[in-house]
């Protein structure tokens, strides 16, 4: 029979998202007369992004501090919020809304801290062309565009996203040729900005060139649009392109249950039907999702949608993001809170992407409490019980 602590742990109710709404049903008064067909249009969503302070103030009732921050941010990283994402802001939460904080500039972005970097991933240092980077022997990243549906305030590439000059076809051609000529490269990430903001023709050209390369095993598309502008994936032409070059690994980013919508679930179903394999890369953000009770229901919903939680990133040391950063210990507490409450399918790798391009390192709670010279070890399990285990002696394994 289970002891009382085990029984209590087993009796715990899972945390689930009670109901996922459509963003159309939540749309602000500014778009009350917009038809559902318009709302489902990628072109309409893109054209009606909130770009000016007056537009943001009209929809979100900006505080005076937020208005000051919006007017002060650099032109290339000013606010950009899709109607879909703006509809997810919970007005009752005020300026602390976890959706709002990811979308609306804050005065905290201008605080300078030692150790913060404009290029925390060392992508310029590891560049192999003007828009491609190689930080590992078998992987390369192609930075395909400066455009995004939304300029997330915790963005690690905020020094590049939104720049006025466009990445040319010639630059992309140079990057692709470099990848094709280097037979060590087996895995290619197409990122940005957001590669899904590319027109269908350019995206198809990129995928065709890479898929024709015999030494490339994996092609990844890194997009947050499934969360911030899922209407992009309602385009049949786009889905046909993705299916033509399947399997494609599509990594997205959901950080909070408020971002779970009917439109996002539909987008993920369409991507799966096109042969895409979905993964989620959350970023650990202070006061937004640095608690297992926030991430558990989000990850349950993602699994239901066929999207596996892949990474939980410690927030990068990017300039302007210090107010989002958490201690490493906060993430370790989150991982302890998830273990045993979620299937292993729902538990991401908690990682830090080391500054200046030194690569990812796994961060794991230490479950080993004690080790004896005789091989006897004591572990702490998922609900806190101490369990003894005797390791196989080295002399036995060498027989």
Known active-site residue 222: no
Tens-digit pLDDT profile for residues 263-314: 999 999 999 999 999 999 999 999 999 999 999 999 999 999 999 999 999 9
One of 153, 157, 158, 325 is an active-site residue; which one?
A: 157
Q: What is the pLDDT of residue 398?
A: 47
Ranges of each domain in the chain: 20-284+313-320, 368-397
**Does 1 have pLDDT greater than 70?**
no
- pLDDT band of residue 164 (cuts 50, 70, 90) is confident
**Does 394 have pLDDT greater than 90?**
no
Known active-site residue 305: no
One of 131, 152, 222, 315 is an active-site residue; which one?
A: 152
Known active-site residue 139: yes
Known active-site residue 148: yes
Tokens 């908690």 belong to: 350
Known active-site residue 155: yes
Q: What is the pLDDT of residue 375?
A: 87
Known active-site residue 58: no
One of 119, 194, 290, 353 is an active-site residue; which one?
A: 353
**Does 58 have pLDDT greater than 50?**
yes
One of 300, 316, 325, 350 is an active-site residue; which one?
A: 316
**Does 51 have pLDDT greater than 60?**
yes
One of 26, 40, 139, 244 is an active-site residue; which one?
A: 139
Known active-site residue 374: no
Give domain 20-284+313-320's CATH superfamily. Answer: Aldolase class I (3.20.20.70)
Known active-site residue 364: no
Known active-site residue 135: yes
One of 26, 30, 135, 304 is an active-site residue; which one?
A: 135
pTM of this prediction?
Answer: 0.95
One of 70, 97, 131, 148 is an active-site residue; which one?
A: 148
- Three-state SS sequence of the chain: CCCHHHHHHHCCCCCCCCCCCCCCCCCCHHHCCCCHHHHCCHHHHHHCCECCHHHHHHHHCCCHHHHHHHHHCCHHHCCCECHHHHCCCCHHHHHHCHHHHHHCCCHHHHCCCCCCECCCCCCCCCEEECCEEEEECCEEEEECCCCCCCCCCCCCCCCCCCCCCCCCHHHHHHHHHHHHHCCCCCEEEEECCCHHHCCHHHHHHHHHHHHCCCCCCEEEEECCHHHHCHHHHHCHHHHHHHHHCCCEEEEECCCCHHHCCHHHHHHHHHHHHCCEEEEEEEEECCCCCCCHHHHHHHHHHHHHCCEEEEEEEECCCECCCHHHCCCHHHHHHHHHHHECCECHHHCCEEEEEEHHHCEEEECCCCCEEEECCCCEEEEECCCCCEEEEECCCHHHHCC
Known active-site residue 276: no
- pLDDT band of residue 395 (cuts 50, 70, 90) is very low
One of 209, 308, 360, 380 is an active-site residue; which one?
A: 360
Mean pLDDT of 58-67: 95
**Does 373 have pLDDT greater than 90?**
no
């Amino acid at each position: 029979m289970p002891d009382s602590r085990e029984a209590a742990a087993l009796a715990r109710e899972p945390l689930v998202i009670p109901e996922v709404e459509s963003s159309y049903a939540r749309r602000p008064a500014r778009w009350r007369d917009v038809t559902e067909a318009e709302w489902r249009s990628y072109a309409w969503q893109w054209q009606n992004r909130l770009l000016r302070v007056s537009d943001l103030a009209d929809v979100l009732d900006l505080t005076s501090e937020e208005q000051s921050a919006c007017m002060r941010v650099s032109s290339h990283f000013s606010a950009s919020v899709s109607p879909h994402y703006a509809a997810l802001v919970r007005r009752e939460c005020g300026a602390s809304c976890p959706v709002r904080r990811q979308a609306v500039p804050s005065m905290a972005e201008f605080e300078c801290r030692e150790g913060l970097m404009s290029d925390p991933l060392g992508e310029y240092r590891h560049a192999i062309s003007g828009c491609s980077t190689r930080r590992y022997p078998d992987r390369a990243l192609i930075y395909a565009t400066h455009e995004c549906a939304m300029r997330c305030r915790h963005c690690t590439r905020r020094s590049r996203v939104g720049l006025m000059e466009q990445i040319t076809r010639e630059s992309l051609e140079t990057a692709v040729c470099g990848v094709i000529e280097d037979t060590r490269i087996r895995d290619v990430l197409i990122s940005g900005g957001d590669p899904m903001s590319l027109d269908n023709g350019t995206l198809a050209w990129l995928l065709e060139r890479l898929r024709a390369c015999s030494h490339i095993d994996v092609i990844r598309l890194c997009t947050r649009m499934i969360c911030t502008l899922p209407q992009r994936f309602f385009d049949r032409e786009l889905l046909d392109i993705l299916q033509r070059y399947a399997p494609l690994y599509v990594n997205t980013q959901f950080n909070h249950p408020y971002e779970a919508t009917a439109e996002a679930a539909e987008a993920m179903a369409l991507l799966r039907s096109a042969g895409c394999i979905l993964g989620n890369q959350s970023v650990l953000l202070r006061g937004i999702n640095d608690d297992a009770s926030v991430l558990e229901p989000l990850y349950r919903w993602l699994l239901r949608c066929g999207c596996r939680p892949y990474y939980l990133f410690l927030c990068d040391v990017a300039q302007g993001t210090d107010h989002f950063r958490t201690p490493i210990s906060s993430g370790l507490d989150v991982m302890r809170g998830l273990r045993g409450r979620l299937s292993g399918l729902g538990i991401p790798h908690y990682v830090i992407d080391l500054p200046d391009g030194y690569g990812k390192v796994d961060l794991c709670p230490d479950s080993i409490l004690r080790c004896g010279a005789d091989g006897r070890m004591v572990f702490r399990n998922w609900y806190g019980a101490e369990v003894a285990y005797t390791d196989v002696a080295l002399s036995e394994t060498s027989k």
